[in-house]
Homo-oligomer: A and B are copies of this chain.
Amino acid sequence: MKTKDIEMARTAAIALLRKARIAVTAEEIETMEVTDLGLGDIKRVGVEIIVYENNDRYCAKELVLLPRQICPEHRHPRVNGRNMGKKETFRCRYGEIYLYVAGERTVRPKAKVPKEYKPFLTVGHEIVLRPGDMYTLPPNSLHWFQSGDRGAVVSEFSSTSTDENDLYTDPRVRRVRS
């Protein structure tokens, strides 16, 4: 990922957090994860993440999505046979999120997906989250999401997070810190 693109995304994410009136520390801004998931197209596919806490029992993050940015389809599988996989709740704080899960495919979905990514976004049951709305995903269930035209800030509450175990539908995705 180009340094210029990372910095553009970081600056835009900080502006969205300000608009959403989410208080974050200077250190959190500094260490915010800004990732294009290895696809080199961060304006359209990527996510900006502040991990508040991730311990042996629970995890809390703030996710920022730039306008129309897509977090690609993935699931959180069982890890070391210990549990059913990560369970997570999304709570929209600002903007709009179009979340897609398994189930009846929504006709005329709100997401706008560039053609080249369509083969890797296979679930199509739409859930629209506006500020104050929440949705809890069962462990190991496929999901992807896109923000609306204004971008979005979403709180994620979950069991322990082990990002390196996430399984993405698009085999080109690399879940590494930039």
Contact = CB atoms under 8 A, between A and B. Distances in A.
Interface residues of A, number: 30
Copies assembled: 2
Interface of A: 20-25, 28, 52-53, 55, 57-60, 83, 87, 89, 91-94, 131-134, 136, 155, 157-159
A55 B88 CA distance: 10
Contacts of A93: 22-23
B52 A134 contact: yes
A89 B53 contact: yes
Nearest to A28: B132
Nearest to A25: B132
A83 B2 CA distance: 45
B159 A58 contact: yes
B87 A57 contact: yes
B157 A52 contact: yes
B23 A55 contact: no
A60 B157 contact: yes
A158 B158 CA distance: 9
